[in-house]
Amino acid sequence: MARDKEIRIVGAGLAGLVAGINLARRGFEVRIHEGRDYMGGDLSYADSTIMDVPAIGAELGVEVEEALEPWTLTRAWAYGRKFEFGLPRGVEGFTVERGKGERSLENVLYRQALGEGVEVLLGNRLSKQEIKELPPGSIIATGLDREAFEAMDLPCRPFFCHMATGKGDPSRPSVIIYLDGFTREFGYYFQRGDAAGALVFSAQRPMTDGEKEDFKAKLAAGDGIEFDAWDDRVATWAAWPLGSWSNRRLLRGDMILAGTLAGLISPVLLFGVNGALVSGKIAAIAACDRDAALREFKRLAPLYWPQFAFRKCREYLPHAVLKPLTQAILSTYDPDSFPYAMLFTLWPPGYRYRTR
């Protein structure tokens, strides 16, 4: 196919690759600058997310199944109390392989991008200045990288993550969430096949050794989970786009934003996979028709503000208040109840894409 239009994309992550695939199909000559010299993250792990897989295929034009494994049962530990629950009716959850593996979502999309003739320049990290000097209309899809938020002058919150991976026990639920005094964020355990991992997040400052030990003790006491090797460096370079109420932006000056940088992450559970995929498609639309893309972008995530308010409560309320509040919310959870189904089905951008 003759390529008469050129476009540059920064970041061969989820959003950048979906944008690249869609633009290549629209006749663009696409060049993606990727900072890493290999595809995927430093560590292979699994994200948990809910997703409408047929809609992703039909609306975004990418195949993602290879990277997914269904997730059904969830357990939560909230301040020492155990809760078992399923997803709301009609909602599907998956663990998503990430990182260097052949079946990781970035590698699954990378192969599709190469098949469409997208050029991906690996080991080509752009500096803040180089990002600012890109041609108008370039797509910035740099994910959680703090530097890109700074280059674009976008509000963000640094976050720190403590993580371990190892072998799992298939008899456990695939996702276990830990809410307790060790962090104002949350810790979680994922299971995918016989692989498993644990992650715990903290915003603004790294966790103290005591807080980390507390989390490890909760994993061991609640579910008998123990890992040998823990990595404190994971995501010390990272930021969430949760710096302000109005952090969702499709455009910044002449540039098009996509993925985490566009603010498409759930304020409560920090789900970002689904939003990144959908925003890649919207960024591709923006390269051709900005008004149409803006309409689509605004339609997303009507529950962002209430969720952001809930997150602010978690940030500022003392644990003595958070404990009964969190336990009360989890006790009233009912997979058939309309408000919970609403929260799950309306939040993640794109979950309702099919109903457009």
Ligand X SMILES: Cc1cc2nc3c(=O)[nH]c(=O)nc-3n(C[C@H](O)[C@H](O)[C@H](O)COP(=O)(O)OP(=O)(O)OC[C@H]3O[C@@H](n4cnc5c(N)ncnc54)[C@H](O)[C@@H]3O)c2cc1C
Interacting residues with ligand X (CB under 6 A): 10-16, 33-36, 47-49, 125-126, 141-145, 148, 161, 199, 234-235, 238, 259-260, 265, 270-273, 276
Q: Which is nearer to ligand X, 78 or 235 (CB)?
A: 235
| Chain-centre distance for alpha carbon 334 | 25
Beta carbons of 167 and 198 less than 8 angstroms apart? no
157 strand-pairing partners = 240
- We find the least distance from the C-beta atom of residue 264 to ligand X, in angstroms, to be 8
3-class secondary-structure state, position 180:
coil
Say which residues have a Cβ less than 8 Å from residue 5's Cβ, sequence separation at least 6: 27, 28, 29
- We find the least distance from the C-beta atom of residue 318 to ligand X, in angstroms, to be 26
Q: Which is nearer to ligand X, 10 or 322 (CB)?
A: 10
Q: In the numeric block, which tokens belong to residue 194?
A: 């016989």
- We find the least distance from the C-beta atom of residue 51 to ligand X, in angstroms, to be 9
- We find the least distance from the C-beta atom of residue 138 to ligand X, in angstroms, to be 12
- We find the least distance from the C-beta atom of residue 4 to ligand X, in angstroms, to be 26
Q: Which is nearer to ligand X, 187 or 314 (CB)?
A: 187
- We find the least distance from the C-beta atom of residue 170 to ligand X, in angstroms, to be 19
Q: Which is nearer to ligand X, 33 or 323 (CB)?
A: 33
Spatial separation of the C-alpha atoms in residues 310 and 297, rounded to whole Å: 22
Residue, CB closest to ligand X: 13
- We find the least distance from the C-beta atom of residue 343 to ligand X, in angstroms, to be 15
Say if strands 5-10 and 28-33 run parallel, antiparallel, or are unpaired. Answer: parallel
Q: Which is nearer to ligand X, 12 or 323 (CB)?
A: 12
Q: Which is nearer to ligand X, 270 or 322 (CB)?
A: 270
Q: Which is nearer to ligand X, 133 or 334 (CB)?
A: 133
Beta strands in 180-282 (DSSP E): 187-192, 195-203, 239-240, 251-252, 255-257
Q: 């970002």: which residue's tokens?
A: 272
Closest CA to 8 of 28, 36, 29, 31: 31
Beta carbons of 341 and 90 less than 8 angstroms apart? yes
Closest CA to 213 of 233, 187, 174: 187
